[in-house]
Amino acid sequence: MTTDLMPGALSAHAIRDEPYYRAVGDEIEIFAAAYAGRLPVMLKGPTGCGKTRFVEHMAWRLGRPLVTVAAHEDLTAADLAGRFLLAPEGTVWQNGPLTMAVRGGAICYLDEIVEARQDATVVIHPLTDARRALPLEKKGELVPAHPDFQLTISYNPGYQSAVKDLKESTKQRFVAIEFDYPAPAVEAEIVAREADVSGEQARGLIEVGLRSRNLRGQGLAEGASTRMLIHAGKLLRAGAPVDAAIRAAILLPITDEPDLREALGAAIAASLPAGLAA
Amino acid sequence: MTTGALSRPDALPRPAAAAGAATRLLRLAGDRADVGQQLRATLDRLRRRWSAEDVDDWAEGALALVHANAGGRCLALFCRLTDMSRGAGAAALAADACAAAELARRAGSKAAAAALEAAPAVAARLAPPDRARWWAALSRLARAAPDCVEPLVERSAIVLAAGGAHGFKDFVAAGLKAGGGDRGRLKAFFTLADPAARRLLERSAGEGGFHELERGLVLFGAALWGAPPRLAALEGVGAAPAAQRVSLAGDLIRMPHVYRGVPADAAPGLYRAALAHAMAHRVFGGPRRPAGKLKPLQIALVGLIEDARVEALAMRRFPGLRALWGPWHVARPVAATNAALLMGRLARALFDPDYEDPDGFVAKGRRLFADASGRLEDPTLARAIGGLLGNDIGQMRLRFDPKGYVVEPLYRDDNLGLWDFGDEPDAQAEEIEQAVDAARPRPEEDDDGRVADAPPREEAGRAREVEPDGAGQAIASYPEWDRAAGVERPRWTTVRDAPAASGDRRALAAALEALPGFRQRIARLVRGARVGRTARLKRQPEGFDLDLDAAVEAGVALRVGDIPEERIHRADGRRARDVATVALVDVSESTRDRVGAATVLEIEKLAVAALGAAMDAIGDRFAVRAFASCGRDEVRLTRVKEFSGRMDDAAMARLAGLSSGLSTRLGAALRHAGAELAPLRSHRKLVLALTDGEPSDIDVADPLDLAEDARRAVLALRRTGVDVFGVTLGEGCDARIFGRANTLPVRRIEELPARLSELYFRLARL
């Protein structure tokens, strides 16, 4: 909609087609309300349950471009805010993705923010309170946030070690929305749609997911995610036999422990009808 | 002849060899009132069948019995054996007699007579070379535990049935090992009263037993039903072999050690089928019902219908269970000669819709069950249908043997859990449960999965109840490698939490200060160790990548005519230290030995004190455990310092309070150290074993056994990412346990810093 008005750099980040998202609760309303108040949002939940898809869907719904940054352990404040580069005529300032979003009024999504270095998490602080500004230390500039700018982060409290936890001063700046794997019927609907498989096949894959999620804490750090189930579904859709698809998309990636893999494989076989498990 | 070694014992006193053995035998025993006549008759018969040489060979054997003072009964039994084994040659029989004579000398003529009495049955089962193995095993037992020979001979058939002659030999070896020097325990083992002995017999029958599969089963159960099931192995009662059906008691599922006769590759599937069936009872079954006045046949039939009912419900939930259970339904429509056979067919008919059976009873059962398919959730259904069918089977006048009846197919449970027989089975279940809990390895863990850091219990007032002998409470049990048998014996050793004594920490501190510069050198080494996690370092003089910010700054500096900074690269380097260390201090009797001026234990204390102080100062995670053992049931571990505690005065006092005594079961101590390290999140994990390098224990004859076990424990730890180093003190240390590179021999305390620097050097490279 407003993409034409966006600065050139941001137009690439515009979302033109509706990303499929199946709401499981009031998350769309909460996010929309938070956006109306320009409150920063934290999405909590296990991997592969639809956090990223949800942000894409909301950006489309709100008509804002979406700048996504996947945080990693080398991500520094400069990588987010920007840095001077050398050009023939001298140094030029290169905006980082966060600065681009702040200036252009995009939604900035920082995925797995705890992975980033401490200085990177602190740089977002002024953006998440009443100041709504990004100080560019190196440039000596304070960039006021565009009225449409909003910050969203994702955070999976489960698998990070205790040393890698969000600081209390960071956590308390956000409105949180909790995500979990959807109820079986809903998840089947999602898998059927995303992987383009039959309802029966999707329901079978949901059973597979439930088996593995029962082993959370029993040797598995996480059960099979919705994303994993969709991958298995896509293999099925492309003609792979069921046991091969489950093995390739779920059993092999999820654990390196042979005992665990065998037990999970047996439990999966036990919960699928003979026709599907063949 | 393969048995030649036994047939002519040269040690026997021999009269002038001029006369033949048969003549000498007659001269010595031919006139005896008890066996003279029988001997003469046997010799006469043999002379007709054999050459004179063969007869002499045989007589040589009989003479051995005479010389061993084995008594008339043994001679008579030898004649009986000779008559009964017509096909056997003279040499083989003579070998039997010589072996029996050996038994008579070691364990008394009663044991020898028992063996000779059992010999015909054994001979029928075993070929001569295997027979010699049987005798050799008995002879070994006679040397080590003479009073156990007779009980074992009486149970030869059971032991041979489980594993043949080789199994028999291994069984004796394992029994001697398990019993240690303890006569009571040996006796219990060889009378098969010890559950460990029965377990061994069951396991020798084949691989694929409960203990190998237990973890996989728990995971399977958890994945299907959401919560991990509580499993235990079934113990037999007395010498009776343990039952072959699952048994449910309370919320405990007890499973056979092995399913006899099931090939190893089918065992995992069978155990899973059995677990799934037990869980079907648990989830879909009703409460226990009073058995009341029901007859055994009715009880069996109601159980059969109930099995079908819960399985049908379970298959609605998990359709794939049909494929798991199906292969075990093998009943066929053959002529039914008793009720049990017919019931097996009914069980299949209710399970398998494609099964065809012409029998009217089976068809009726099927019809009744099908009619009730709409109300399968009703727990009283089985009682109703079972009652109706019971009448029918009664009218068919088929024999039902309640004692011999076992539930079919194999994976189903004994169904005793369905009934309340009014004998308070709850109390029984509780008892079983307690026994199981006590035997379960359970390092105490707090909520976030760490091994509890309770303060070591030197303060008697706060101490938990400790057994009066100071062995301490059992906290975990670990397997041990049996070198002779080449298998790992599960739950073989018990680690106990031994209380720490308090010693003179000032004297220890003074001794440490007396070594010039020692403490400082250790501290420097520990501080300098490169044991951190790798990280990207910025602004490095060299590296694989440009540090963009630094490069731009350098470029700017160049253009404005400044001297640019040269460190414009990014590189991998080590950042914060992240290492957890367990120091295992050997405090066995042999640490009393002197190495130079000091004892091994004194050197160990100084080394740990210096290391502890250094690691404490820089905040490395570090725990100290002292270990000594008194047989496999008593591996005592003393907690000198916890990971969370400081190397403070109290810890130093506990360290100073260690004293030498008992033996060295290094493998168990290493496994426990590994278990304590497992829940910690650390980049590097390190076990530092300070020992005189020679594992031994009172119940193990061959020290190589424990050395090999320790070596395997080291390898297992290494596989889980734990580096194990042995600081070996004293002479003659075996580098095989820790590996040559990880063995750090220290002969004087002054050598320790040099060895430690080697250790850290290796650690940085690994």
**DSSP state string for B129-165:** HHHHHHHHHHHHHHHH-GGGHHHHHHTHHHHHHHHHH
Are B157 and B225 part of one and the same domain?
A: no
Q: Tens of pLDDT along B138-195?
A: 988 888 888 888 888 888 888 887 777 878 888 888 888 777 778 888 888 888 888 7
Of the three residues B440, B461, B489, the one that is the final residue of a domain is B440
Residues in chain B, pLDDT under 70 = 1-18, 202-208, 235-242, 336, 423-471, 530-535, 573-576, 693, 731-734, 764-766
The range of the structural domain enclosing residue A90 comes to: 2-178
Q: How many domains does chain B have?
A: 4
Contact B320 A211 (CB under 8 A): no
Residues B551 and B606 occupy one common structural domain: no
Determine, yes or no, domain membership for B97. yes
Name the residue in chain B with its Cα closest to that of A258. B216
Instruction: Give yes or no: residues B630 and B672 share one domain.
Output: yes
Same domain, B562 and B625: no
Identify the CA nearest to A74 among candidates B352, B549, B66: B549
* Residue range(s) defining the domain that contains residue B151: 4-191
Q: Which residues of A touch B548 (CB under 8 A)?
A: 83, 85
Mutate to test the interface with A, among B211, B318, B446 (most CBs of A within 10 A): B318
User: CB-based contact (8 Å) between A78 and chain B?
Assistant: yes
Euclidean distance between the first and the last CA atom of chain B, given in angstroms as a whole number: 56
Q: Are residues A115 and A212 in the same domain?
A: no
Residue numbers in A near B222 (CB within 8 A): 214-215, 218
Q: Residue B569 and residue B543: Cα distance in Å, rounded?
A: 5
Which of B224, B230, B446 should one mutate to test binding to chain A, selecting the residue with the greatest count of A CBs within 10 A? B224
Q: Final residue of a domain: which of B191, B217, B252?
A: B191
Flag whether B477 is in a domain. no
**Residues B540, B566: Cα–Cα separation, whole Å:** 8
Q: Look at A263 and B223 and tell me if their CB atoms are within 8 Å.
A: yes
Assigned domain for B196 exists? no
Looking at the structure, do residues A145 and A231 belong to the same domain, yes or no? no
Kindly determine whether residue A86 and residue B268, on different chains, have CB atoms separated by under 8 Å: no
Residue A172 and residue A49 share a domain: yes
Q: Which residue of A has its CA nearest to B448?
A: A162
Quick one: pLDDT at residue B275?
Answer: 95
Distances (CA, A) of B525 to A47, B518, B519: 42, 11, 10
Supply the pLDDT for residue B73.
87
Q: Which of B311, B341, B336 is nearest to B326 (CA)?
A: B311
Q: State which of B384, B418, B440 marks the end of a domain.
A: B440
Asked whether residue A58 falls in the same domain as residue A196, the answer is no
Query: Which of B215, B319, B320 has its CB closest to that of A259?
Result: B215
* Interface contact B276-A270, CB threshold 8 A: yes
> Nearest C-alpha of chain A: how many angstroms from B283?
15
What's chain A's average pLDDT?
87
Look at residue B470 and tell me if it is in a domain. Answer: no
Final residue of a structural domain among A178, A200, A220: A178
Domain count, chain A: 2
B409 cis-preceded (ω within 30 degrees of 0):
yes
For residue A37, the distance in angstroms to the closest alpha carbon of chain B comes to 36
Q: Which residues of A touch B317 (CB under 8 A)?
A: 271
- The answer, for B219 touching chain A at a CB cutoff of 8 Å, is yes
Per-residue confidence (pLDDT) for residue A193, from 0 to 100: 94
β-pair partners for B290 = B420
Helix (H) or strand (E) segment spanning residue B25: helix B21-29
Both B179 and B250 in one domain: the answer is: no
* Residue B604 belongs to domain with CATH number: 3.40.50.410
Residue at a domain's end among A146, A178, A210: A178
As a whole number, mean pLDDT of residues A207-214 equals 92
Q: Give chain A positions within 8 Å (CB) of B219.
A: 215, 218-219, 259-260, 263-264, 267
Nearest chain B residue to A224 by CA: give it: B223
SS3 content of chain A, % helix, strand, coil (to 5): 45, 15, 35
> By C-alpha distance, which of B723, B728, B515, B725 is closest to B609?
B515
Give the orientation angle of helix B339-351 with respect to helix B381-395, to 10 degrees: 140
Classify B586 as helix, strand or coil. strand
Beta strands B621-629; B579-586: pairing state: parallel
CATH number at residue A18: 3.40.50.300
* Same-domain check for residues A100 and A234: no
Which B residues in the span 235-274 are in contact with A, Cβ-Cβ below 8 Å?
Answer: 268-269, 272
B321 and chain A in contact, CB less than 8 A: yes
**Chain A residue with Cα closest to B315:** A271
Mean pLDDT (whole number) for A27-46: 94
Contacts of B535 in chain A (CB under 8 A): 73
> CA–CA separation, B99 vs B76, rounded Å?
16
Q: Determine which of B212, B219, B572 to mutate to test the interface with A (most A C-beta atoms within 10 Å).
A: B219
Residues B171 and B276 in one domain: no
- Cα distance from A3 to chain B (closest Cα, Å)? 32
A24 touches chain B (CB under 8 A): no
B302 and B277 assigned to the same domain: yes
**Cβ neighbours of residue B479 under 8 Å, at least 6 residues apart?**
B488, B489, B490, B491, B492, B493, B671
B226 touches chain A (CB under 8 A): yes
Q: Which residues in A lie closer than 8 A to residue B218 (C-beta atoms)?
A: 218
Same domain, B37 and B22: yes
Distance CA B416, CA B250 (A): 11
Token couple for B311: 């399985």
Q: Do B216 and A211 touch (CB under 8 A)?
A: no
Q: Are residues A173 and A206 in the same domain?
A: no
**Same-domain pairing of A156 and A237:** no
Task: Decide if B455 is inside a domain.
Answer: no
pLDDT band at A91 (very low <50, low <70, confident <90, very high): confident
Query: Is B222 within 8 Å of A78 when comparing Cβ atoms?
Result: no
- Rounded Cα gap, residues B184 and B260, in angstroms: 29
Nearest to B642 by CA among B628, B622, B656, B658: B622
Q: Helix (H, G, I), strand (E, B), or coil: what is residue A84?
A: strand
Taking CB atoms and an 8 Å limit, are A262 and B318 in contact across chains? no
- Do A102 and A208 lie in one domain? The reply is no
Answer yes or no: do B616 and B606 share one domain: yes
C-alpha span between B43 and B45 (Å, rounded): 5
Is A21 in the same domain as A105?
A: yes
Tokens 């305390």 label which residue?
B749
Q: Are residues B365 and B231 in the same domain?
A: yes
Residues A151 and A29 in one domain: yes
CB < 8 Å to B320, chain A = 268-274, 277
Question: Does residue A29 belong to the interface with chain B, where contact is any CB pair within 8 Å?
Answer: no
- Find the closest chain A residue to B221 by CA distance: A267
B449 in a structural domain:
no
ipTM reported for the complex, 2 dp: 0.81
Residues A36, A163: one domain?
yes
Q: Report how far Cα A238 is from the mean position of its chain's Cα atoms.
A: 26
Whole-angstrom distance, CA of residue B707 vs CA of residue B730: 16
Q: Are strands A90-95 and A82-87 parallel, antiparallel or unpaired?
A: antiparallel
Residues of chain B in contact with residue A161, where contact means CB-CB under 8 angstroms, are: 681
**Rounded to whole angstroms, how far apart are CA atoms B278 and B13?**
66
How far off is chain B from A33, nearest CA to CA, in Å? 37
* Cβ pair A211:B548 closer than 8 A: no
Asked if residue B499 is part of any domain, the answer here is: no
- Report CB contact under 8 Å: B222, A269: no
Q: Are residue A155 and residue A247 in the same domain, yes or no?
A: no
The verdict on B95 and B171 lying in the same domain is: yes
Same-domain check for residues B587 and B661: yes
